[in-house]
Amino acid sequence: MFHQSLDWTVEMTTIPSTAAAIADAVRSGVLKATDVLEAHLARIAEREGEIHAFNLVTTDEARAAAARIDADVAAGRDPGVLAGVPIAIKDNMCTRGIATTCSSKILEGWRPPYDATVVQRLAAAGAVTIGKTNLDEFAMGSSTENSAFGVTYNPRDITRVSGGSSGGSAAAVAAGFSPISIGSDTGGSIRQPAALCGVVGVKPTYGTVSRYGLVAFASSLDQVGPFSTDVRDSALVLEAISGHDPMDSTSIPQGPLSLQGVLSQGVEGLRVGRITDMPGGADPDVTERLEAAFDALQAAGAIMVDVQMPSMKYGLTAYYLIAPAEASSNLARYDGVRYGMRVNAPDTNAMYSATRSAGFGDEVKRRIMLGTYALSAGYYDAYYGKALKVRRLISEDFDRAYTKADVLLTPTSPIVAFPVGAKSDDPLAMYLCDVYTIPTNLAGHPAMSVPFGTGAFGLPVGVQIMAPTLGEQTMFRVAASLERSMIASGGGR
């Protein structure tokens, strides 16, 4: 059934809907963090059974954290900019003493001995982790149908997918289970589910947010970012989790991003790029919303310019060689010896094979085999080597495009949320869902998806805003402008 709007339970009527407003109310003593938490737990109890956003709801730990925040407020201590805000964490980020599964059987029983840097920074800012969200196994997928623990359904229409791989995190925000959540994005895994669920999703510049404690899929592509119901909340969270981390060798040596101050600046004079040779395939309803976004930005004072990205059409091919190659290396550590599942066998090699056969799902096995083949002797130069050259071409095309434009706009997903099971037997059709999101991962640039109306079946459509390296401020200015135009038109956020 399609839910035109998400009505709060009685307990939610006094709770603000945004993270910024909740934090302000808790810090000022107007609301208690424990009351905010209980209202969200009630919401989870109401709808989680039909959505399955979570692998684990951390009720006891969340109640203890909320009580500490209330004690800090009572004692006159500032608990942080996210005080009392419930937050859902994708289940591929380490949480000390709390199961971290990557939605895979192979990590059965594993409880990390440390927190990911992002988890630490959220706790320091006063956020309350409410649970670990479902995902495509090891973040490999575009629909959250590849989880060992079942499908996550779209809160807007529970017959349809939530997108992937961070489908649980997107669904948690869309359903009102938490005002913000955290996901990871390797080829679109934040932006695509954000678009399908009708929320904001941000992939920052590679290296601005620490990957320490993020279970690796493809290390040169993975990045951590937020989901939220509005643009300001994403800016608030990204400020809290960004900044240099000595525990991550790829971390950019700079301070946290500064974003909230630019949201009201508008887009007067900004150059917005239209990619004239963008890969086709987007449904007409999605293209219509993209054109409406161009019109809205032009009406707000932005300048439309045409740019070319001739190598963009090769992004999908390059990605599905580079990412599986890195995955085959990263996932070699799951051998049944050190942690997680172990299937007993007569000798070590047999145990290793039996454990991986039983522990990994079909999509993970598919990508490991593809990556291992691409890296193998005799095929490295023909496949992996050429893919790296295409990656460089894509980066160079972006560099040329950004001499003419400050940001680029594309659809986030070529289609709205599709029915559960519709693409499960056709991996290529599933991979094509990421045709517009993958190029920025290959280049390491920031990009975000902003809800911009609805398309077929009344389902959300997201517009993707892309910017050059460390261009988050400009990107967020454009996002805020699009959000304001939607609110002014009566379309809401």
Count of Cβ atoms closer than 10 Å to residue 351 Cβ: 17
Q: Are 100 and 110 in contact (CB under 8 A)?
A: yes
Task: Identify the active-site residue in 142, 166, 189, 485.
Answer: 189
Which element (helix H / strand E) includes 349? helix 348-359
Q: Answer yes or no: 90 catalytic.
A: yes
DSSP string spanning 276-335?
TT------HHHHHHHHHHHHHHHHTT-EEEEE--TTGGGHHHHHHHHHHHHHHHHGGG-S
Q: Answer yes or no: 249 catalytic.
A: no
Backbone φ, ψ for residue 252 (5° rounding): -70, 130
Torsion of CA 73, 75, 79, 81, to 10 degrees: 60
Q: How far apart are the first and last CA of the chain?
A: 21
Task: Identify the active-site residue in 103, 147, 165, 251.
Answer: 165
Q: Answer yes or no: 311 catalytic.
A: no
Beta partners for residue 303, in sequence order: 271
The 3-state DSSP class for residue 183 equals strand
Give Cβ neighbours of residue 299 (< 8 Å, ≥ 6 apart).
Answer: 485
Count of Cβ atoms closer than 10 Å to residue 105 Cβ: 17
The 3-state DSSP class for residue 61 equals helix
Beta partners for residue 57, in sequence order: 131
Task: Identify the active-site residue in 90, 132, 203, 423.
Answer: 90
DSSP string spanning 217-266?
SSTTT-EEEEEESSHHHHHHHHHHHBS--TT-TT--SS-----GGGTTS-
Structure token pair of residue 418: 């599709």
The residues carrying an active-site annotation are: 90, 165, 189
